[in-house]
Every structure is written in structure tokens, then in C-alpha cells.
Chain A
Amino acid sequence: MEFEKPLAEWKGQVQEIKLSDKVIIGGEQVFPNYSFDGKCSNKPAVAIEINDVFPENWPENLKEIWNTDTLKSPVERAKKAEKEFGADIIFFDMIGTHQDRENISANQAAENMNAILKAVDTPVIVRPDGNFEKQNKIFAKCCELAERQIIIGSAKEDNYRTITASALAGNHFIIAEAPIDVNIQKQLNILITQMNFPLERIIMDPMTGGLGYGFEYTYSVMERIRLQTFMDDPFMIPPMVCCVGQETWKIKEIKIEDEKYGSKPERGINWETTTAIGLILSGANIVVVRHPESVIKIKNFIDSIYQKSDCLQQGI
């Protein structure tokens, strides 16, 4: 008897988004790497996180590889991330804008952002920190003054209006962030689009924990989101971004002195890489990491599973 290959038939498709000539994400019609079912489409992109201020609480070995002087200059960091470390996207996390930290003003934040936009050619994700009032001021300024199209984050269930209005006026992309919850994610997407914002310019951040720190919960929530996408839920089509680095480099296993955990720098890289790969397997379209070694490993992994050119075509 001849074997007949069972094919899952999906109706929906992840929105394809062109962030720049080089970086196109989304577009898949099947679960990650289910190339036997349909079109896998674009490779996931790897973003590197940089900050507007010196990242005090990074582990020493992570600071060393970046070089402390470089870390002090956001622009130098961005350049290094793009040119030396091969970032597809720069994730500009403006932790210094938090009212309890450096409390960088909205105007200054926009200036800092423009310096980064000028320094690199990659797409840039911009995300301020602070209470909603502070964040809203920065959303408005950054969206107004950005010298090119940016991806601005994060719209949340309780604070999505100002960012959406600003991104609408400035023609930018939005990151819609939900606390590991399918329902809230969908509702947020609907709320944003109800303000006339095109769904085609939304990227979802389902939020994540590091491996061993709630990662598996995100994994299944992302699977759920994608299930809904492929079952043709029109509001669940945006691609997804996962902030991996910030979740992994803060956990205790990476910081403690203990021989049996192996060398400290490697631990961090492995933890970051494994978490990122797991998330890619559950549908992440962008993973944001901190260590250059992780970028290489993750990209090797992506290349290895996407190596067959027919993987990108319809079926195998």
C-alpha cells in the first residue's frame, strides 16, 4: 500500500512585514519548520539589544565582550551590534528614561533615538521605560521626530491610545504587548485597530520568561496564537517578537559561582541561545538577544533548519 502523506490544511497566514530591504519577517502559512505542510517563508530575524545608558546590572563577562567604553556610548553600541555582531535589527531599549533612573526627557530621548537611526542601516525598535505618563510623552516625541520609520513599543491593554495615535501620525510600526495571554493579546490587537491603525503594522510581543522561568508558558501561548492565525482568525496575524536577552541574563543560574554549572560566560550564552531557539520553534519572528556569541549560534541554527531552499517553497 502506498503511503499517503497527511497534510494539515490551514487557511490563515502570518502577516508579512517588510521592515527594510534586507529584513522581511512573517508570511508563514504553517507552524515553524512544518515545511511538510506548507510555506515556511521568511527566516526569523535576530535583534541585538542596546540601551541609552550604561547597563550597570549586566554580568561582568557580558560587559567585557562589548567593551566598557563602547557600552557607555549608545551610538557606538549600535554600530558594533550591526557591523561586528551582525544584528538584523537594533532593539533600542531606553531604560534611562524611567523617572526613577536617569529620567531622560522626552526630547532628549528622541534625540538619542535619532542618533541611533543615523548610525545604523538596520530597522530599529524603540522602547521607552517609565510610568505610563512618562512613556506617553516619549511615544509622542519619538514618533513625531523620528527621521525614518521606526518600530515603537510597547502598547499595552491599559496604555495603548497615545502610542497608537502617535504611530498613526508618524506612520510607524507598533509592538503590542500582552502579559502571556491569548485573550488580552487578541483584544489589544482589536483595540489598536479600532483606532484605525492598520493591523499590517502591528508586531506582537507575547512576553516571555527565560528557560526555567516560565518559558514553557509563553511557548504554549505562542502556539495558541499561531493556531488561531492558521485557523484564520483575522486579528491574530501579526508576527511576534520575543525579548530573550533581558529575561535570561538576569537569572540566578547565570550569576552564581558554582563549578558544577560550567563556565559562567558559556552558561549565559547557552541559556540565551536555548531560550531563543525554543521561542523560534514556537513561532517567534524576531528574537532580541544581548551576547554576540548567541547571535552566531542562533543564526547557525536558523540557517541549518532553513538550509534546504525548498523549505522556503510550498511543501518538501
Chain B
Amino acid sequence: MSKQIIELAIQGYQEQLNNTKAVVQKTENKIPADKKITFPETAYNLPLYFAFTGKKIHSISDAQNLIDEIEKKNSNIISADIDLTETLDLGIDTIILQELQLAVESSAGEQINFIPDNVLRSLGVQLVSGDISGIAVIIGAARDEETAVEIIRTLQEKNILSVLAADYEGKTMFEQLSNQNVEMTLDTYIVHLGNKTESVVLGLNWAIRAALTYGGLEGGQKEKCLKYCSDRIPAFALVLGGVDAKKVATAVGAIAMGFPIICNFEVPEISVKDDHGFEQKLLTFELNSNKLVEKCLEVRNIKVKVTEVPIPVRYSSAFEGERVRKEDVALEFGGKYSKAFEFVEMKNLDEVENGKIEVIGKKINEVEESSALPLGIVVYVAGRKMQKDFEPILEIRFHNFLNQATGIMHIGHRSFVWLRISKEAKKAGFKIKHLGTILQTKFLDEFHSIIDKVEIHIYTELEMINKFMPTAEKLYHERDQRMGAMTDESVDVFYSCTLCQSFAPNHVCIITPERLGLCGAYNWLDGKAAFQISPTGPNQPVEKGEVVNAEIGEWEGVNEFVYKASNNTLERFSAYSLIKYPMTSCGCFECIIAILPGTGGFMIVDRTFLEMTPCGMTFSTLAGVVGGGQQTPGFLGIGLNYIVSKKFVSAEGGLKRLVWMPSYVKERFREKLDKRADELVVPGLVDKIADETICSDLAGLIEFLAEKDHPALKMGELI
């Protein structure tokens, strides 16, 4: 902490001490001996003092004792030679003295704008429920009246409660707003606390009562109360104009409660690392008054809830499957008509301007009806918990988000995009910019736990697109490389999926980089992102722990997790074996693997294949054998893409044991299967695998395998 601030804080504390002393002495005779010292309409007496100590002030002599106590405690502090913790303690003492002073004044009949308990409750419920997204304690006055209005309107738009306190050089925010006829009531989320610096404490002792009321905490649990304020009360102080010693000491008190300070003038910044290792600013500044509120939100990590997408057409998942026909097209992009791409890139928090949507190039009204334009949608995101790995997960959601608007059709992804805007949507006022509005709103809404900021650039100019596309292509490629290069050995953590436990109570999927979930819908990255987004949800990280058996893919940590998650039923689990402790299945598998005695191999059948298979069972009969969360050696439910993984049943020899599969699955994966066959040094393997056009019975299959000299025949029986 800067020496300058510490010196000011000490000086401010001294001033406050003298001030409170003077007030108590002056008021002593005005308050009858039997009159209690307290704020009106509260059960918490002097809330800050009560929360920190569990004690109450009953009389003027209690007040005197408290002052003596604080003065004695701090009598040694005279130099700037104290550390951060000691300075924060001094801040706390300052606000306790301020609270005491106001309580004494209030008891002596002075008008103090204390926030009574019933208001605390009605605002508190809104705060805890998230209807109020934050609290701004505004200290001082804006540069001029217009700026004051501008700041307050922006705060109101974000559902932030503003509490106004203290003056700056005789001016107050309250006056400035009054002069501009701004309505100041609880309903408009503006509360005026007073013109003195001490009045700031009325905001702070409201916050601390929230900890007592909603945190289930009791007076005296100082550390817990402070932690509650810091973790759960999204308050910050906005200091306008400048500071004196007393304001600094007060601000230090607010910092001690976990409320950061943002100034509109230059100050030495202070920051600490929070529990997650992120840098948390305690004191900072923003000189541009247009960016002041945004800065506050960023520093306090406040996310404003916007659930309605503000566009001129209706928006709901019900419209997702809707097509826009050729004759209804007002404007289209991509497909076979023009170049189009979209991509998401993660940036640092200070590199992204939240809320910015920029369209460069022609607008919807500048082109003829039914024509085509090139399109590039570039989305920059930033967030404390955002990770590079989440980019593709966000990008894939373009499709789903854009399609939910009526009159918008979106197909494809990356550089294979086709987007149509209907005539009706255009008539309703839909602009190209609104594509950005949709993405902006939905990303912040659905991914609020990982994304703090979204900035969007939309290009409809070929020149710009040609400039950006190579960057995008490079990024897609890098991503694929990264995901492709990811192996089970390269990570320490897998992800679980227990989404299906509602009907298969003991089933748990373990998703690894090289084995996706058996439903085919969740890969390792999805699991990772899902955990960040919903930390209490069904996708949890699973520490691999010590290797038990590398060949079959068995780890201590995974075993422990599976045992617990399967309700103490499955003691061992393997990721790569069909025979030894195979993974269980819920019933959602894309396809089933079943051993075929007499061939040395196994078959695969997917859920769209309805006919008989060489094992003598159809898919649906097999499904009955495999599902339900039980380990059935020789049978396995898997996701289709697992077939081409290097870890595909690798414990038993993998692809070399595959003897039969539906022809269309073979064709769909042919290229990748051929590549895998080459890697296994069995060229031509794919043509040795039978399908339904060759046989659907075991005898016929064995004959075919012998004829083709399939490697499985020589590998010995699986069981």
C-alpha cells in the first residue's frame, strides 16, 4: 500500500477520533442518562459495532468507553510504518467511530438518514435474489450536473442501487441530481444518506446487516461478516472529485469490508490476489466518465442480468427449427452465394470493450432485396474464468443462438456458414447489427460464469473479410491440432457425467480426451466447460490419481470417484477394456459393442440399425443387455467417435478386433478408419470388416473373415 495513502488514513482516523470525541462531549448533556444510544427502527443497535464485537452501546458512558478503547488500541500508530492489515484495521476503527458519532447525534434528535430494518429487508431480498445487481456508494460530486445524471442513469439501467454520501468542495451528487429533477426514491434505486463524510457509514452499516440477516451470522463473528460482505454483497464505492484524509480513512474501512474503491481521478492502485488467484483491484481509477460505471462493474465483477434479447423480432427456442425460403429472403450471407465465416477469440479483460457491436460494410437497407453479402462475425470474449479451450464451445452456439430469432436462418459453422434474414424480419426492423445483439446477450446470459465481457465486430465488406479470414482459419486449425493432440496421458483430470442417473441410478460416464461420453454429445472439453458454468451440476472433475493399470486404463482416483458416484456399487473401472471392468451404460449410447464368440473379435451396431446382427440380437434387444448401469464384460455402450480413437478398446487390441459393423457407419468413418488401420499396421483392414451387405449371421461372418484373413481370427478368443 502506498505510503501516501497510509499517511492520509492515519490522519483521517485521527480527525475522526477527535470529531467523534467532540460530538460525544457536546451531546453528553443533551441526552438524558436513561436514554439509550441507538439508531432508530433497528434490532441491531449500532450495526457495524454489533457485527464486529457482538456488543451493544447502551448509554453515553458506553460510547465514551468505546472511544477510549479505540484510542488506546491505536495509541502507538503514529508513523506510516504499518502494513496493509494494520491499515485496514484502522479503517474499520474509523467507520466504527463514524457510526458511533452518527448514533449519538441521532439519539440527540438530529436528523440522520439511517436505513431502517424494514427497508433493509425489502432491498435485501432484491439484492440477495439478484434483482438489484449491485450497490454503488457514491462519495462526492460529479464534475457537473449533466455528468451526474449520466452516471446515475447508467447505474439505474444496470439495476444498481445508488447510495449518495458526502460532498466534494461543497458540491453533492444529491444537489446535482435534484437540480436536474431526477426522481430519488427507493423505487428508482437512489438513496440519499447525507452530506457529511460520516454518512458513508450508513451505507456500510446497511451492508453489514445484510450479512447478519441473510448470512445467518451473529454479532461478534467479525471475520465471517467481513467475508460475507466481500463475497456476497456486490457493493463498491465510487469516489468523485477528490479526497481528504477523512475520506481516505473511510474508504480504507470500505476496502476492509471487501468493497473496492473506484475514483474518477488518479490514485495509486492497490490490488490483491483473490481465492482463485485472480487479481482483485481494491483501489483503482477511471478518468473517462463514460467508462466509469463499466469499470466499476468490472472491478466488482458484477454481471447484469439481461434475459430478454432486445431485437425487433420475436426470440425463443420455439423458432429454432424455422427455415427461411428462397422467395422470403431479404438478405443472405455465405452458402454458395458469398464468403462467410464466424469465430470467437478469447482476449484479456482489458482488451475487450463490453457491449460494443460494430458493423463495417453495407447495411441491410443499402442492398437490394434477395441479394447476398459476404459476412464475417468476430466475437471477442474475456472473463476471469474464461479459457482458450472454451472458444469452440462458444462458437458452436452461434447456430443455436441466431436460429432462435424469427426470420433468421443459420446453417453451418466456422467458414462454412449460411445465414438468411427474411423479408418479414427486415420489415420488422431487423438490422445486421442485431445479429451481434443476439450473440452479445446470449453469451453473457448463458455463459455468465465464464464470460465477463463480449465485443462484436461484424464485417460485410469483402476486403475486411479477406483480411480477417486467414486469422480465423489459422485459429480453427490450431484448435483442431490442440484437441487432436490431446491424449488421456496429457491431462490430470477427467470429467464425470451423471446426467443420466435419474433413470440409470448407478451409471456414471467418465469422459476422457480420447473417449467421449457414450451418448456422443459430450466430449472432454464440454465436460470441462460445463463444470465451470455449473459447478454443482452433473459434470464434475475427476482426478486420475495413481495409475493402477495403464493398459486397460485404470486409475486410483477414477476408481474412488466411480465407487462413490455409482452409489458404492462399482469398485473398479477401466477406460479402454471391453472385458475387464468395462464402463457401464445408461441407455443413451450411440452404438453397442458386443463380442462374437468364434471370431476372436467383436461387432458394433448403432442405434439407427434396426435389422438382425451376427450376435443374434437386434440393437434394441442388445440395449436391454447393456443398459442400466451394470458392468457387462463383453458388451459396451459407446459414442460413435470413439471408434476412431487411439484408445478404442485398446486393452484388447482395438480396431484389429472389429469384425462387423453397419455399412453406413463404415462409410461415414472410412477415411479415419483407414488412417487408424495404417497406424496399427494392418493396411486394408477396413475391407476385412464385414457389414450387413455381406452377412448378418455368425456362420457367414466366420467364413468371410477366414476368406479375408481378418487379424482377429488369429488373436484368440476375447473371453
Within 8 A of A (CB), among B171-228: 213-216, 228
Known contacts A161-B130, A169-B214, A195-B128: A183-B502 contact under CB 8 Å: yes
Binds A, one of B117-125, B457-465, B510-518: B117-125
Known contacts A168-B216, A182-B502: A231-B537 contact under CB 8 Å: no
On whether the beta carbons of A181 and B502 are closer than 8 Å, the reply is: yes
Choice from A144, A181, A196 contacting B216 with Cβ under 8 Å = A196
On whether the beta carbons of A224 and B505 are closer than 8 Å, the reply is: yes
Known contacts A168-B216, A169-B214, A231-B568: A182-B125 contact under CB 8 Å: no
A187 located at the interface, meaning its Cβ lies under 8 Å from any Cβ of chain B in the complex: yes
On whether the beta carbons of B125 and A140 are closer than 8 Å, the reply is: yes
Choice from B129, B215, B228 contacting A136 with Cβ under 8 Å = B129
On whether the beta carbons of A144 and B121 are closer than 8 Å, the reply is: yes
- Could you list 19 A-B pairs, sorted by A, with CB under 8 Å? A140-B122, A162-B125, A165-B125, A165-B128, A165-B129, A169-B121, A169-B124, A169-B125, A181-B502, A182-B502, A183-B502, A190-B536, A196-B215, A196-B228, A198-B216, A224-B502, A228-B567, A231-B567, A231-B568
Known contacts A183-B498, A196-B216: A227-B125 contact under CB 8 Å: no
Tell me the complex Cα distance, A98–B568, Å.
45
Residues of chain A with a CB closer than 8 A to B130's CB = 161
Tell me the complex Cα distance, A164–B128, Å.
9
Q: Taking beta carbons and an 8 Å cutoff, which residues of A are in contact with B?
A: 136, 140, 144, 161-162, 164-166, 168-169, 181-183, 187, 190-191, 194-198, 221, 224, 227-228, 231
Cβ distance B716 to chain A, nearest Cβ, rounded Å = 41
- Which residue of chain B is the closest to A133 with respect to CB atoms? B131
- Which residue of chain A is the closest to B217 with respect to CB atoms? A196
B501 located at the interface, meaning its Cβ lies under 8 Å from any Cβ of chain A in the complex: yes
On whether the beta carbons of A183 and B501 are closer than 8 Å, the reply is: yes
- Chain B 481-524: CB-based contact to A (< 8 A → 1; otherwise 0): 00000000000000000110110010000000000000000000
- Which residue of chain A is the closest to B213 with respect to CB atoms? A169
B597 located at the interface, meaning its Cβ lies under 8 Å from any Cβ of chain A in the complex: no
Tell me the complex Cα distance, A162–B122, Å.
11
On whether the beta carbons of A221 and B216 are closer than 8 Å, the reply is: no
B538 located at the interface, meaning its Cβ lies under 8 Å from any Cβ of chain A in the complex: yes
Cβ distance B207 to chain A, nearest Cβ, rounded Å = 15
Residues of chain A with a CB closer than 8 A to B568's CB = 231
Known contacts A169-B121, A198-B216: A161-B502 contact under CB 8 Å: no
Tell me the complex Cα distance, A21–B88, Å.
48
Residues of chain B with a CB closer than 8 A to A144's CB = 121-122
Cβ distance B127 to chain A, nearest Cβ, rounded Å = 8
How many A-B pairs have beta carbons closer than 8 Å: the answer is: 63
Residues of chain B with a CB closer than 8 A to A168's CB = 128, 213-214, 216
> Which residue among B215, B228, B502 has the maximum number of chain A CB atoms within 10 Å of its CB?
B502
Q: Please list the 4 inter-chain residue pairs (A to B) with the smallest Cβ-Cβ separation, ordered nearest first.
A: A165-B128, A162-B129, A161-B129, A190-B536
Residues of chain B with a CB closer than 8 A to A221's CB = 502
- Which residue of chain A is the closest to B505 with respect to CB atoms? A224
On whether the beta carbons of B538 and A183 are closer than 8 Å, the reply is: yes
- Chain B 510-547: CB-based contact to A (< 8 A → 1; otherwise 0): 00000000000000000000000010111000000000
Known contacts A144-B121, A198-B216, A228-B567: A183-B499 contact under CB 8 Å: yes
Residues of chain A with a CB closer than 8 A to B498's CB = 183
On whether the beta carbons of B214 and A196 are closer than 8 Å, the reply is: yes
On whether the beta carbons of A182 and B505 are closer than 8 Å, the reply is: yes
- Which residue of chain A is the closest to B228 with respect to CB atoms? A196
Residues of chain A with a CB closer than 8 A to B505's CB = 182, 224, 227
Cβ distance B41 to chain A, nearest Cβ, rounded Å = 14
- Which residue of chain B is the closest to A190 with respect to CB atoms? B536
Residues of chain A with a CB closer than 8 A to B499's CB = 183
Tell me the complex Cα distance, A231–B567, Å.
7
> Which residue among A140, A165, A168, A196 has the maximum number of chain B CB atoms within 10 Å of its CB?
A165
Residues of chain B with a CB closer than 8 A to A164's CB = 128-129
Cβ distance A236 to chain B, nearest Cβ, rounded Å = 11
Choice from A182, A190, A198 contacting B501 with Cβ under 8 Å = A182
Given contacts A140-B125, A161-B130, A231-B567, 7 further A-B contacts (CB under 8 A): A144-B121, A165-B125, A168-B214, A169-B213, A182-B505, A183-B502, A231-B568
On whether the beta carbons of A227 and B129 are closer than 8 Å, the reply is: no
Tell me the complex Cα distance, A144–B499, Å.
37
Residues of chain A with a CB closer than 8 A to B126's CB = 162
Choice from B124, B228, B534, B536 contacting A165 with Cβ under 8 Å = B124
Cβ distance A201 to chain B, nearest Cβ, rounded Å = 10
Residues of chain B with a CB closer than 8 A to A136's CB = 129
Tell me the complex Cα distance, A190–B216, Å.
16
Cβ distance B317 to chain A, nearest Cβ, rounded Å = 14
- Which residue of chain B is the closest to A230 with respect to CB atoms? B567
Tell me the complex Cα distance, A191–B215, Å.
14
Residues of chain A with a CB closer than 8 A to B121's CB = 144, 169
On whether the beta carbons of B214 and A165 are closer than 8 Å, the reply is: yes
- Which residue of chain A is the closest to B131 with respect to CB atoms? A162
Known contacts A136-B129, A168-B213: A227-B567 contact under CB 8 Å: yes
Choice from B125, B215, B501, B534 contacting A166 with Cβ under 8 Å = B125
Tell me the complex Cα distance, A136–B126, Å.
10
- Which residue of chain A is the closest to B117 with respect to CB atoms? A169
- Which residue of chain A is the closest to B568 with respect to CB atoms? A231
Cβ distance A204 to chain B, nearest Cβ, rounded Å = 15
- Which residue of chain A is the closest to B216 with respect to CB atoms? A196
- Which residue of chain B is the closest to A184 with respect to CB atoms? B502
Tell me the complex Cα distance, A228–B129, Å.
29
Residues of chain B with a CB closer than 8 A to A169's CB = 121, 124-125, 213-214
Tell me the complex Cα distance, A169–B210, Å.
9
Tell me the complex Cα distance, A194–B213, Å.
15
> Which residue among A166, A169, A182, A190 has the maximum number of chain B CB atoms within 10 Å of its CB?
A169
Tell me the complex Cα distance, A227–B506, Å.
11
Tell me the complex Cα distance, A164–B215, Å.
11
> Which residue among B128, B129, B498 has the maximum number of chain A CB atoms within 10 Å of its CB?
B129
Residues of chain B with a CB closer than 8 A to A166's CB = 125
Residues of chain B with a CB closer than 8 A to A161's CB = 128-130
Residues of chain A with a CB closer than 8 A to B125's CB = 140, 162, 165-166, 169
Residues of chain A with a CB closer than 8 A to B534's CB = 187
Cβ distance B504 to chain A, nearest Cβ, rounded Å = 10
Residues of chain B with a CB closer than 8 A to A224's CB = 501-502, 505
Tell me the complex Cα distance, A164–B213, Å.
12
Tell me the complex Cα distance, A140–B129, Å.
10
Tell me the complex Cα distance, A182–B127, Å.
29
- Chain B 554-595: CB-based contact to A (< 8 A → 1; otherwise 0): 000000000000011000000000000000000000000000
- Which residue of chain B is the closest to A235 with respect to CB atoms? B536
Tell me the complex Cα distance, A161–B121, Å.
14
Tell me the complex Cα distance, A181–B499, Å.
10
Choice from B128, B129, B537, B567 contacting A187 with Cβ under 8 Å = B537
